[in-house]
Amino acid sequence: MSKRPLILVTNDDGITAPGILTLIEVMETLGDVVVVAPDSPQSGMGHAITINSVLHLDKVSKKGDKTQQYSCSGTPADCVKIAINEVLDRRPDLCVSGINHGSNSSINVIYSGTMSAAVEAGIEGIPAIGFSLLDYSWDANFKASKKYVRQIAENALKHGMAEGVVLNVNIPNLKEKDIKGIKICRQARANWKEKFDKRKTPQGRDYFWLTGEFVNYDKGTDTDEHALAEGHISVVPVQFDLTAHHYIQQLNTWHFEQ
């Protein structure tokens, strides 16, 4: 009898976040689950790794628990690295990250700890998916996400994924009956217009809170932002080869002295 798939679960909101608890519950229906997630929120960490301090890894599940769970003092990317090298006894068949509290569509994928964990797994040759719900609140309702999260993960296990590609999945904050289904998309061309809220400490030292406005410059109907606005779940295949292949020929026309 073949082994059940081994699924690594991680996130960036921390091991106690409601989103990861939902993701664990869904993945347990598909395979054997091991969780390695940050011991505290790591949102916006991108693909940072810990090299200037030690990492701590603590097993938080108890003997007899259905799922092994470990909390890590590092970043989401650290969690995937340490899971593969120190925790798992075989390579996972799938890595899922999330479910993130808040959007990781469009340019947000660059800053996302959720997606960076998935990308780290992809770099290791493991099929990987990052899931996000467009609700930033801690008590977000993930019930409507479950069916679609399961479908997407099930398809990844069944069909496999291309080398060098991970999936960025964003789910609109709607009731299940109002979600129009899944749409395969491209990343919208958008950006943040940053603002810094400048304040002073009682001692007179300046400090800043980063704020900003998300601006979508893309009018295309095939983007993740458009799909989400129309009530669809967006699925964007993301590659981590950042080479601008189309520009290599142009660069070769530049003159460099020997």
pLDDT of res. 141:
94
Domain count, the chain: 1
Q: Looking up tokens 């009530």, which residue turns up? A: 231
> What does the alpha-carbon distance between residue 24 and residue 240 come to, in Å, rounded to a whole number?
26
Domain around 247: 6-187+221-251
> What does the alpha-carbon distance between residue 226 and residue 208 come to, in Å, rounded to a whole number?
33
The tokens for 239 are 């590659």
The reply to whether 205 falls in a domain is: no
Q: Is the pLDDT of residue 65 over 90?
A: no
Q: What amino acid is encoded at 74 in this protein?
A: G
The reply to whether 245 falls in a domain is: yes
The reply to whether 52 falls in a domain is: yes
The reply to whether 194 falls in a domain is: no
pLDDT of res. 2:
56
- What are the φ/ψ torsions at residue 69 (nearest 5 degrees)? -130, 135
Q: What predicted TM-score, i.e. pTM, was given to this entire model?
A: 0.93
The reply to whether 86 falls in a domain is: yes
Distances in Å between the Cα of 70 and the Cα atoms of 56, 63, 80, 87, 159 are 10, 13, 11, 9, 29
Q: Looking up tokens 């603590």, which residue turns up? A: 58
The reply to whether 215 falls in a domain is: no
The reply to whether 195 falls in a domain is: no
Q: Is 241 annotated as a binding residue?
A: no
Separation of CA 67 from chain center: 21
Q: Looking up tokens 């899971």, which residue turns up? A: 83
Instruction: Encode pLDDT of 189-211 as tens digits.
Output: 999 999 999 999 999 999 999 98
CB 121 within 8 A of CB 128: yes
Q: Is the pLDDT of residue 165 over 80?
A: yes
Q: Is 191 annotated as a binding residue?
A: no
The tokens for 136 are 């930033």
Instruction: Encode pLDDT of 27-43 as tens digits.
Output: 999 999 999 999 999 98
> What does the alpha-carbon distance between residue 245 and residue 152 come to, in Å, rounded to a whole number?
30
Q: Is 12 annotated as a binding residue?
A: yes
Q: Is the pLDDT of residue 215 over 80?
A: yes
CATH number (domain holding residue 16) = 3.40.1210.10
